A and B are shown apart, each in its own frame.
Chain A
């Protein structure tokens, strides 16, 4: 079973920030939080990952709570091309690690 829970769907107005939450209350100390998105009929695209500090790159920002039990992916200025299913995954980084995908959040950016 997936170790994360996400809302099934969200809408966001174009140009506004999209804030996508993820709960991972059973996360272990050596597990990272990864975010990917999947546009229809394509492979998932890597967005960002983090351990405990907040992270930012050219695509998004990742805010992880101090207890690491939840996180939020922030798309600062959503565009129509950001419409996709967003997956939050927790995974170890050594040994036999693997991604277990949950159901994700279907984000729809509205014009």
Chain B
């Protein structure tokens, strides 16, 4: 149980285009999903927290108009990188917290999406 998927696993796009990344909780409902970014040899950095049916909360320094997050259902959240530039190239990882997870709200992570912007 507690499987999270991401699609696509890899994407290459041209500078100026937009890219959508999907995050799904496959066998549980997630009240909250998180989006992280990871640069090579660095740790994960939280970008935003998303709750189903409400606007995402972005971390300081993350542009909400550039990184659009939609959490339309209890099993799906999407991250859209708008007008991507080479500096947006990174490993994007989502996580989901179970609705029925009890008091500990453990996060389960997806496999990640590697974005390369040319």
Q: Give A contacts to B, CB under 8 Å.
A: 2, 32, 34, 36, 38, 41-46, 49, 87, 91, 93-94, 96-104
Q: Which of A43, A49, A87, A99 contacts B110 (CB 8 A)?
A: A43
Q: Are B104 and A43 in contact (CB under 8 A)?
A: no
Q: Least Cβ distance of A1 to chain B in Å?
A: 12
| Shortest beta-carbon contacts, A-B, top 5 | A43-B109, A101-B44, A101-B43, A44-B109, A43-B112
A98–B43 CA distance with the chains assembled, in angstroms: 15
Q: List the count of A-B residue pairs having beta carbons below 8 Å apart.
A: 58
Interface contact B108-A46, CB-CB below 8 Å? yes
| Cβ contacts under 8 Å, B93 to chain A | 43-44
Contacting A43 at CB < 8 Å: which of B45, B103, B106, B111?
A: B111
Chain A residues, CB < 8 A from B111: 42-43
